[in-house]
Amino acid sequence: MKKLTLPLAAAALVAMPALATAQEAEAGLTAPHTQYILTSLLFLVGGFLVFWMAAGFAMLEAGLVRSKNVTMQLTKNIALFSLAAIMYWLVGFNLMYPGDAWTIPGFLGAFSPTSLEPVGLEGTATALDYASVGSDFFFQLMFCATTASIVSGTLAERVKLWPFLIFVVVLTGIIYPIEASWQWGGGWLSEMGFSDFAGSTLVHAAGGFAALAGAIVLGPRIGKYKDGKTIPMPGSNLALATLGTFILWLGWFGFNGGSQLAMGTIGDMADISRIFANTNMAAAAGAVAALVLTQVMYKKPDLTMILNGALAGLVSITAEPLAPSLFQSLIIGSVGGGIVVFAVPFLDKLKIDDVVGAIPVHLIAGFWGTIIVAWTNSDANVVTQFIGFAAIGIFVFVVSLIGFLVLRSFIGIRVDEEDEVHGLDMAELGMEAYPEFQAS
């Protein structure tokens, strides 16, 4: 019997962690290091899904502009993402997430570059944060770049490349990180009780407000409005636009699902699954709403409206994709899709030329999504939601308007009339997306 004592003792020691793990599992918990690994993985997977949205925006815009401007849109999209990556490292991330290093508490974060953990976490304390800094930085960067992508489509076909990119530097390095810090960085909106789960206001409406400011300063395309009428300017490739929409739809699962910000418990995993289902339902409902409304109003379905209807449904559910039921998500998404059908012609009446419909999709549907949070989330209220939306909208619109006016005054932001007529591809870049289709 004595010979069995040591093996039994060893077996008991081995079994103790297993019993603890079983108890944690019963409570839906995992060990801290496992939570760290799983949440970091969520950020990385969610991040590269949101990165794929950059391709979606590029394809959507390339399909909705005329063929003479396609190369310009593709250039802007890859350049704006690259600039966003650099600016978010240089200053954006710590402006947005200052921790205890606020320059003005609750309003203005820290001005410093982002630093990652050492290789292998060598020399660091044994206590782990909830996720790796690298995964968090990577995930949050994608939201920053998305904000700039929204502006690109609205200003298409008449904005100069370099002034636009200068604005992107300011938007991604300063404007977006500051307003996002008010909520996600623990700033004053967060303290007030404002709720925006994944960015209907902080990302989408902010991009929409910046786009609106740019469209006002830039003015409409030549020939868009004539004798009180809106002249249609069909895009070059609706197949590309449709592909772009499906890519954005796919990327949105990372956008909303990753915003759970945790994957270390059974509850987290169930919530992420719920977010995916609600996100998909809202997109589908937005597309169907636009399909039906355009059939009723114009006697024929309009594909571009249907595409934007799906995107508006996605924007609408982004402020609160967790709390709603599937039926509530359907209602929220369908209203978002309906908003697009009515908002696009309304903007044309105001002679605000939005080439791809980004303002209705991201700004107006973003407002709807932010306000309706109070319907499904008992911790939110309509007044606080409105205050938060208004504060971010005013800040982004005013600073963006000043930025575009300064650029227009000092270097100009609009191409010459002749260059606009012949297309920005040749005027700004000297190359065409479809050279074989151009007249010799």
Give me 137's structure tokens: 């930085």
Q: Is 46 helix (H, G, I), strand (E, B) or coil?
A: helix
User: Could you tell me the maximum CA-CA distance found in the chain, to the nearest angstrom?
Assistant: 103
Do 325 and 277 touch, CB atoms closer than 8 A? Answer: no
Mean pLDDT taken over the chain = 92
Q: How confident is the model at residue 12 (pLDDT cuts 50, 70, 90)?
A: very low
Residue 407 pLDDT class (50, 70, 90 cuts): very high
Higher pLDDT, 2 or 156: 156
User: Quick one: average pLDDT of 2-15?
Assistant: 39
Task: Write the pLDDT tens digit of every residue in 145-183.
Answer: 999 999 999 999 999 999 999 999 999 999 999 999 999
Residues near 173 by beta carbon (within 8 Å), at least 6 away in sequence: 87, 88, 90, 91, 92, 95
Q: Which residues of 345-366 are buried (b: 16+ CB within 10 A; e: fewer)?
A: eebbeeebbbbbbbbbbbbbbb
- Could you tell me the two tokens for 132? 């790796």
Residue partners of 440: CB distance under 8 A and separation at least 6: none
Mean pLDDT value of segment 208-222: 98
- What percent of the chain is modeled with pLDDT above 90? 86
Q: Which residue ranges make up each domain of the chain? A: 32-113+131-423
Q: Tell me whether residue 337 is exposed, middle or buried, using C-beta atoms within 10 angstroms of its C-beta: 0 to 12, 13 to 18, 19 or more.
A: buried
Per-residue pLDDT tens over the stretch 219-255: 999 999 999 899 999 999 999 999 999 999 999 999 9
- Kindly report the pTM of this predicted structure: 0.91
Residue 360, pLDDT > 90, answer: yes
Among 370, 301, 294, 287, which Cα is nearest to 333's?
A: 287
Residue 31: the pLDDT is 78
Confidence at 20, pLDDT banded by 50, 70, 90: very low
Residues 233 and 112: their CA atoms lie apart, in Å, by 45
Whether 440 shows a pLDDT value over 50: the answer reads no
Residue 379, token pair as written in the block:
């911790």
pLDDT in tens, 319-351: 999 999 999 999 999 999 999 999 999 999 999
**Selection from 197, 152, 191 nearest residue 172 by Cα:** 152
The span from the CA of 201 to the CA of 367, in Å, is: 7
**Token pair of 77, please?**
């999209």
Model confidence at 270: pLDDT above 80: yes
Q: What is the mean pLDDT of residues 66-87?
A: 98
**How does residue 94 score in pLDDT terms, banded at 50, 70 and 90?**
very high
Minimum mean pLDDT range among 120-129, 169-178, 278-287, 329-338: 120-129
Read off the pLDDT of each residue in 192-204 and give the average, rounded to a whole number: 98
Q: How far apart are CA 262 and CA 2, in angstroms?
A: 48
User: In this structure, which long-range contacts are made by residues 101-109, counting pairs with CB atoms below 8 Å and at least 24 apart in sequence?
Assistant: 106/182, 106/186, 106/187, 106/188, 106/191, 107/178, 107/182, 107/187, 107/188, 108/178, 108/181, 109/177, 109/178, 109/181, 109/185
* Fold entry, domain 32-113+131-423: Ammonium transporter fold (1.10.3430)
- Per-residue pLDDT at 425: 95
**Rounded mean pLDDT, 185-194:** 97
For residues 350 and 371, the answer to whether their CB atoms sit within 8 Å is no
CA dist., res. 127 & res. 24, Å (int): 19
- For residue 220 the two structure tokens come to 């409409």
Q: Is 389 helix (H, G, I), strand (E, B) or coil?
A: helix
For 130, phi and psi rounded to 5 degrees? -75, -20
Count of residues making up the chain: 440
- Report in angstroms the alpha-carbon separations of 382 from 21, 190, 194, 257, 387: 43, 15, 9, 24, 9
* pLDDT tens-place string over residues 365-376: 999 999 999 999
